[in-house]
Chains A and B, each alone.
Chain A
Amino acid sequence: MTNHWIDLKNADAILAIGCNPAENHPISFKWIEEALDKGAKLIAVDPRFTRTASKADVYAQLRPGTDIAFLGGLINYALQKGMFHEEYVREYTNAAFIVNDSYDFQDGMFNSFDEKEKSYDPKSWGYALDASGNPRRDPSLKDPKCVFQLMKKHYSRYDVDKVCSITGTRKEDFLKVAEAYCATGRAGKAGTILYAMGITQSTHGSQNVRATALLQLLLGNIGIAGGGVNALRGESNVQGSTDYGLLFHLLPGYLKSPEFDNVDLKAYKEKWTPKTKDAKSANWWGNTPKYITSLLKGWYGDNATAENDFCYDYLPKRSGNYGYVKILEKMGKGGIEGLVCMGMNPAVGGPDSGKAREALGKLKWLVTADLWETETSIFWKRPGVDPKQIQTEVFMLPAASSVEKEGSISNSGRWTQWRYAAIKPIADSRSDLWILDQFHKRVKNLYATKGGVFPEPITRLAWNYGNGEEADVHLVAREINGYFTKDTTIKDKDKTLEFKKGDQVPMFKYLQDDGSTVSGCWIYCGSFTNEGNQMARRDQSDPTGLGMYPKWAWAWPVNRRIIYNRASVKPNGEPFDPTRKVIAWDPLEKKWKGDVPDGPWPPMTDAKEGKYPFIMVPEGHGRLYALDLKDGPFPEHYEPMESPALNNLSKVQNNPVVAVPKNVSSDTKKFPYVGTTYRVTEHWQAGAMTRSLPWLVELVPDMFVEISETLARHKGIVNGDTVTVTTERGSISAKALVTSRLKPFEVEGKHIEQVGMPWHFGYAGMATGDSGNVLTPSVGCANTGIPEFKAFLCNIEKGGKRA
C-alpha cells in the first residue's frame, strides 16, 4: 500500500476492484465505514456480488480478466470529460514528456515486437532527449508525441459501449462508477483504489496494476491522504517476506539479485544503478551501491573487504526465470533433488496442483516446517496414490506458532509491528528462527569438517546471533537495521555527525558504499536504532488527526506513513488539500511539517535544492507511460488465456509476450463457463491454518462451488447437490451453492455463466475437500509470472465422487 489501513477513513471515494475487503480483510471495513459515515462513496467492481458489493453505493459487475478494459474506460472518461487534476498531471507525471519517434501502436501491438522471441524491445519506447541528455518536455501537453497525447489517443478506443461489450458491465453501472470515481480528479478530493488478487492473478497482471496507477496519477490521487494505490495483501507478513527478497529476482530491500553477466560488483552497480542528468531528480535508486555494499557487509562481515569485492562472488547469479511456476516445471521433470517448504503448501496453493503433487514425487528429499500436517507434507499418501511407488524422503518439522516466539511482521500498510512470545513453543515444536539457525550451523559444520564444493560462501558467512539455544532475534533485527563497522564522521549539510563503531545507523541516508556500514535490508534502516526497537512502540498519539499514528510501531521507509507524499502539495509546498495536510512546507522555519516527507529537500519550486516528488524513478515523475515493462508502455486489453470471447478491441487475442502452455483450452464447447477462485472470511489461503480450528470448521465445513440460479436451472442442480467441475487440467467434486450473487455476463449477445469456488481445501487437516487449484492454469503474468487463477474455462455437471 502507498497509504495504510486507517487512512481509508480519509477518502471521498473508495474503488474496490479485484478485491473483497469485507470478506478477506474484515477489519479494514472499520475504516471504510468511517469514510462512508462522512459521506464517501464505496464502489465495488467485481465478477461476483460480494460482501463488499453488498455495502457499496455502486456495484458494477465485470467479467473475470477484463480489468484493463474497465479501467481503460475510466481513464478515457476522465480524459474526455476533463475530470483530471491538471496541475498534478502536468507537474508530477510524465504527461509532458516527449517519446521517441519509434514508438507506435497498431491494432493491439506496440512497435518492436520480435515474433520469434515473442518479446518487445522496451528501449524502443524511450523518451526523446534534448542536447543535455534530459527528456524533452512540452508543458502545454499539446505535442502529438507527448505522453499525454499518446495516452489520450490510446484510450480513445475505450469508449463506454466498447468497454461494456467486453466487460459485460451494464452501461448505466459503468457510468455511475465513472462519475463517482472521476469526481475525485481535482484538488481537495481524495479517491483510493483498493486491489488484491483479482488484479494481479492474470496474464496481464502488472498492466492491470499499472492501469490503476494511471488512473490515480491522472486524478491526482497518489501521495495524498485518502488516496493511493493500495494492494490489500493476503498474509500477515507477505509484505515483509517480499521486502526481504524471498523471490528469485530479488535481494532484501528490492535490490535485484545478480544476473550472470553482472560479473563483478562494479558491473552489478553499473547495471542496477539508474542515472539522471537532471539535478531536480532525487533518483533515489542512485544509492544502490551503498545498499548492496551494506548488505554484503552484513552477510560476510570482516571477510567482506573492498579488495575482494565485498565477497560479491559468493552470491549465486541467475540466468533466466526461476519463478514458482518454472521451478514446479523443472521439478516435474526431475530437475530438482531437494525442496524445503517453510510454511508453504504447493500441493494446494499453486496452480494446476495435480501436477504439483506429481512433481513432489520426483524429489529425492522434501522438508516441511509447519504447525500442521499439510497436503504437501503428506503428498506421498494422498488419495489415489501408492506410497510404495514414491521414493521421496520426507521430513515434517513441527514449527512454533506466532504466540510462541518473538519478532516483527509488516502489515499491508508497511507498519512493522513487534510480537512477543506468550508461551514457549508447544511440545517439541521450534521457531523457524531456531530451525534456520540449525540448518546453517549444521551445514557449515559439515563443510568445515569434510570440505566440499566451493565451501567459502557458507563457511565465511557472518552468523553472529549470540550463543543461546536459538539465534537472538534482537541481534538479527539489529543487523537488519544496520550499524557502523568503524568510527565514522558524516557531514550532513551544515551538521557534522560522529558515530562510534557499533552504533546503530539511524536512517538509510547514512549508509555507505565503502564497507563502513552494515545493513541487512536498507528499507528497514531506522527500525532498530540506538534509541531501541522502534517496531515495539505503542504510543497512541495522532498529531495530524489523519490516523497516521507516527509513534505506533514503525513503517518503512523512514517511518513514512504515506509514500510519495511530496505529490500531496503544490510545487511551492502548500497542500493541495488544506483540510487533509499530509505534509506542508513551513517557509519561516524552512522545514516540512506532518508526515516524514519523501526526502528532506525544500519544495520543487526551490531553484537550488527543490526535487520532483516521484523519487524512485530517474525522471522523478510518475509514469503514465512505462519504460520497463515487457508488454508495453500503456496497459492494453487482451483476453485471459482461456476466454469465452474474442478480443473485441484488437485482433490480438492474448498478451503477445506470454507463451501459451499446452494444457490450456478455449474450446467453449467442452468448457462453456468462466471459472474463478476466491476466499472466504472463515478460511485462510491453502487452509492449513484454519481447516484444523474447530470454530472455523464449524462455520465453513465443506468445499463448495457457487453458481447462478440460471445455470442451476439449466443443469438441474439444486443447492447442496454434489457437482463435478472440470477443466483442461483436471476435475473436482464439491457441494453446489446456488446463489443470486452470481449472474451471467452478456458477451457478444450471449449469456456467459460463471462458476466460482474457494481454493482453501485439500486432503489434510480436520475439514477436507477437493482443491480448487486442481482446475487452475499454470500460465502467468508477462512481468511477474503470477498465475491466472481468476479467469479460466470449465464445465460443471451434476453428480460426483463425494456423495
Chain B
Amino acid sequence: MAISRRKFLQGGALAAAGVALAGKPAEANADAPDLRTKGLQKTTTICPFCSVGCGLIVHTKGGKVVNTEGDPDHPINRGSLCPKGSALFQIANNERRLQKVMYRAPGSDRFEEKSWDWALDRIATLMKDTRDRTFKKTEVNPKDNKTYVVNRTEGMALFGGAGLDNEECYLWTKFARSMGVAQLEHQARL
C-alpha cells in the first residue's frame, strides 16, 4: 500500500499542528493556539483506541470536526497523544467512512443502497423468524434424563463490542437476553 506525501498532507494541517503541540500547556505555545482555535466550538472526548483512556479536545465549526488535540487538563495524558490518538481527526473526516445503509442480496456480487427503514424492518423480520424457528423452550439433560426449561434462541449469535459505550453495551446485553440469545460474545474472549 503506497500513499503519496502530498495526499498525506492534504486536509489535515490543523490536526497535524495539534500533534506538534502535544504535551505542552496551550497558553505557553508560540503558535498562539488561542488564536488558532478562536471561534471554534470545543468539546472533550476520550480516545477510542487503547484502554489508557487519554483525553482529547475536539474543535468543531459548522458541524464539522476541524481539529483534535490532546487535552492538557486530563490527568492521565496531560495533553500528549500517541500516533493513533493523534489520528482521531481522520476518523471524523474520512471519505472511506460508511455513508449509507448497504444491502447485499443472497448470491449477489454487489451491495445496493437501502433506507434505514427498509433494512431495519427486514432485519427485525429475520431476527423474529430465526428466533421463532430455533427457540428451544425445554431440553432433556442427558446426564439425569430430566427436562429443563431453557428458553433459548439457538440459531442466533451476537458479537461485539469493546468499542461500544457502556450505555450501548448495557442495551446490547439487555436486548440479547430478552431475545433468548445466550450466544453473546465479544473481544474479551479473544
Contacts and interface: CB of A to CB of B under 8 A. Distances in A.
Interface in B134-190: 134-135, 137, 139, 141, 148-175, 177-190
Most buried by B among A324, A390, A413: A324
Contact of B75 (A390, A397, A549, A789): A549
A279 interface: no
Contacts of A442: 120-121, 123-124
B162 A343 contact: yes
A77 B168 CA distance: 47
B16 to A, nearest CB: 8
Contact of B189 (A314, A324, A390, A398): A324
B97 A336 contact: no
A461 B140 CA distance: 28
B165 A342 contact: no
Contacts of A27: 52, 54, 76-77, 80-82, 85
A443 B183 contact: no
B92 A395 contact: no
Interface string B98-124: 111111111111010000100111111
Contact of A398 (B3, B100, B109, B153): B100
B91 A401 contact: yes
B99 A327 contact: no
A768 interface: yes
Nearest to B172: A436
B97 A429 contact: yes
Contact of A338 (B68, B101, B127): B127
Given A396-B102, A690-B87, A403 B92 contact: yes
Nearest to A415: B53
A5 B65 contact: no
A421 B43 contact: yes
Nearest to A696: B87
Contacts of A429: 97-99
B173 to A, nearest CB: 5
B177 A315 contact: yes
Contacts of B131: 452-453
B149 to A, nearest CB: 7
Nearest to A320: B182
A259 to B, nearest CB: 9
Nearest to A552: B75
Given A392-B106, A423-B63, A682-B83, A344 B49 contact: no
A7 B76 CA distance: 10
A693 B166 contact: no
A252 B2 CA distance: 45
A439 B141 contact: no
Interface in A1-59: 5-6, 24-28, 30
A299 B181 CA distance: 15
B51 interface: yes
Given A342-B172, A403-B58, A446-B128, A695 B90 contact: yes
B119 A397 contact: yes
A684 B149 contact: no
A409 B151 contact: no
Interface stretch (A229-237, A490-498, A628-636, A662-670): A229-237
Given A318-B182, A429-B97, A364 B130 contact: yes
Contacts of B17: none
B51 A236 contact: yes
Most buried by B among A317, A338, A397, A446: A338
Interface stretch (A126-134, A151-159, A370-378): A370-378
B50 A314 contact: no
B94 interface: yes
A422 interface: yes
A448 to B, nearest CB: 11
A240 B188 CA distance: 10
Given A422-B45, A694-B3, A401 B92 contact: yes
Contacts of B173: 244-246, 251-252
A380 B103 CA distance: 12
Interface residues of B, number: 122
Contact of A689 (B91, B150, B156): B91
Given A240-B166, A242-B188, A524-B166, A401 B48 contact: yes
B26 interface: no
Interface in B70-96: 73, 75-78, 80-88, 90-92, 94, 96
B99 to A, nearest CB: 4
A659 interface: no
A114 interface: no
Most buried by B among A233, A343, A450: A343
Contacts of A251: 173, 177
A474 to B, nearest CB: 9
Contact of A395 (B76, B91, B119, B155): B119
A563 interface: no
Contacts of B148: 260-261, 263, 317, 319
Given A338-B156, A694-B90, A408 B126 contact: no
Size category of the binding interface on chain A? 35 or more
A405 interface: yes
Interface in B33-72: 41, 43-55, 58, 60, 63-65, 68
Contacts of B48: 236, 401-402, 689
Contacts of A547: 75
Most buried by A among B53, B109, B111: B53
Contacts of B169: 237, 240-241, 243-244, 246
Contacts of A396: 98, 101-104, 111
B21 to A, nearest CB: 15
B118 to A, nearest CB: 10
Most buried by A among B80, B88, B92, B189: B189
A251 B141 CA distance: 23
Contacts of A473: 165, 167
Interface string A351-383: 100000000000011010111110000001100
A248 interface: yes
B99 A398 contact: yes
A767 B96 CA distance: 12
A272 interface: no
Interface stretch (A102-110, A615-623, A707-715, A780-788): A780-788
B190 A786 contact: yes
Contacts of A244: 166, 169-170, 172-173
A364 B122 CA distance: 13
B97 A409 contact: no
A245 B131 CA distance: 21
Interface in A748-803: 765-769, 784-787, 789
A140 to B, nearest CB: 42
B26 to A, nearest CB: 15
Given A6-B75, A243-B166, A457 B189 contact: no
B185 A247 contact: yes
Contacts of B183: 248, 322, 327, 336
Contacts of A446: 124-125, 128
Nearest to B58: A422
Contacts of A399: 98
B96 A765 contact: yes
Contacts of B41: 422
B31 interface: no
Contacts of B55: 417
A315 B150 CA distance: 8
A477 B171 CA distance: 10
Contact of A239 (B51, B85, B153): B51
A54 B70 CA distance: 26
Q: Which 3 A-B pairs have the closest CB atoms?
A: A411-B53, A407-B165, A342-B160
Given A419-B44, A692-B94, 10 more contacts: A5-B76, A246-B185, A323-B185, A367-B123, A422-B58, A422-B65, A450-B128, A471-B171, A476-B171, A681-B82
11 contacts: A238-B51, A242-B188, A246-B188, A247-B185, A405-B165, A412-B52, A422-B60, A480-B166, A538-B73, A693-B94, A786-B189
